[in-house]
Amino acid sequence: MDILELLNTFKKRFPSQQGEARIFFAPGRINLIGEHTDYNGGYVFPASISFGTYAVAAPRDDRQVRLYSDNFKDLGIITVDLDDLSYNKANNWANYPKGMIQAFIDEGFAIEHGFDILFYGNIPNGAGLSSSASIELVTGVALSSLYNLTIDRIRMVQLGQQVENKYIGVNSGIMDQFAIGMGKKDHAILLDCHTLDYQYAPLELGDYVIAIINTNKRRELADSKYNERRSECESALRDLQTQLPIQSLGEMSMTMFEEYKGLIKDDIHVKRAKHAVYENQRTKDALVCLKEDDLVGFGALLNQSHLSLQHDYQVTGIELDTLVEASWTQPGVLGARMTGAGFGGCAIALVEKDKWASFKENVASIYSAKIGYAPTFYKATIGDGANELNNKEVN
């Protein structure tokens, strides 16, 4: 859809709307490396992508908020009142924007009249590229513009995470909302999730591209497994804290971990904590590799990350492992790993541009033969973070 089509759809859905319709966009994200480290107080290295969520919005005079998603046409317009924004299962996807409006109100912002809003997302469905954080942040930028609010961008990012944690009930970390709220074209963000200090690293990949490969597996039990991993790490941390003055696993070096891992009572928890500590180091090393143009070193770190997520953190599964292992055997591939929470979703691979066609063909055929259905391939384009659009082209 381009801007014109979006505006037309908005007018068709909300024919009585006379106000000025404004257009907003929030991207999705990939994570280059630093997986399951954010809630462990470690580093992550994500980048915002050109797939994302568009929103068209205009104010109303009353206290109604009417929401429509072009991705869920069957659900029609969902109407809620500013005086009751509590979570309602029947509201389905609309709980994300509702949660964000509630978070803004709780933050003390005056939202005194309602609005009509249309969403359209082109992030592949259930792909683990953070469509939910993208809806949260596109709502955030829409609210700031529609109501002329001055809100610090990092605060908006934190409100998005709060919606996930307290309103939706997924104990996710800060990475997704940060990547989407703070993204920068052609850059990745190295973020210290403990202090929220961050730096942008130019993604200059020369003859290489980042492939995003969707397993197309439905991510069903993902949220409960995610919360389980998080509590396993918390338990490991508590054991370590009996003798160490640390607040998070992110504070431990690999040497320190090897010295004190005996304090962790449960063997499974040792593996989880090991991943968190070693992955954190790999993430810092990855920045150095990129700065030194060492794509081979960078690729090797991606591979190690996947192996650790497969064997120690155990969040990959046959679909992601098949994709990644098939990628490793292809000429022109410097590295590959799962990205995001895992249990399905997407993998990324660093692929030589000239080898793209054979890469796609071979990986697809290995995957389809083993899994029974095909994966989908995209070339990653790293775009800007969430914002209002000014007559720019819409993908």
* Least distance CB 121 / ligand GLA (angstroms): 16
Does the footprint of ligand GLA cover residue 193 (CB under 6 A)? Answer: no
Q: What tokens does 64 get?
A: 């109604």
Helix (H, G, I), strand (E, B) or coil at 59: strand
Closest to 278 in 3D by CA, of 310, 298, 249 = 249
Q: CB-based contacts of 53: which residues, under 8 Å, 6+ apart?
A: 25, 26, 28, 119, 120, 121, 123, 131, 134, 135, 138
The region of 15-23, 92-100, 101-109, 168-176 touching ligand GLA under the rule CB under 6 A is 168-176
Work out which of 25, 39, 93, 119 binds ligand GLA, going by CB under 6 A.
Answer: 39
Work out which of 42, 173, 344, 375 binds ligand GLA, going by CB under 6 A.
Answer: 173
- 69 beta partners: 119
Rounded distance between C-alpha atoms, residue 88 and residue 86, angstroms: 6
The region of 112-120, 152-160, 167-175, 250-258 touching ligand GLA under the rule CB under 6 A is 167-175
Does the footprint of ligand GLA cover residue 366 (CB under 6 A)? Answer: no
The region of 72-80, 170-178, 182-190, 374-382 touching ligand GLA under the rule CB under 6 A is 170-178
Q: CB-based contacts of 288: which residues, under 8 Å, 6+ apart?
A: 294
Does the footprint of ligand GLA cover residue 137 (CB under 6 A)? Answer: no
The count of other CB atoms within 10 Å of the CB of residue 76 is 10
The 326-355 site mask, x for binding ligand GLA (CB under 6 A), equals: --------------xx--------------
Does the footprint of ligand GLA cover residue 160 (CB under 6 A)? Answer: no
Does the footprint of ligand GLA cover residue 99 (CB under 6 A)? Answer: no
* 262 half-sphere exposure, CB direction, 13 A CA radius: 2
Residue labelled with tokens 């809100």: 151
**Is 176 designated active site?**
yes
Does the footprint of ligand GLA cover residue 136 (CB under 6 A)? Answer: no
Closest to 306 in 3D by CA, of 327, 332, 285, 331 = 327
Residue of 38, 176, 192, 384 marked active site = 176
Active site residues: 176
Instruction: Tell me which residues touch ligand GLA (CB under 6 A).
Output: 31, 35-36, 38-39, 172-173, 175-176, 340-341
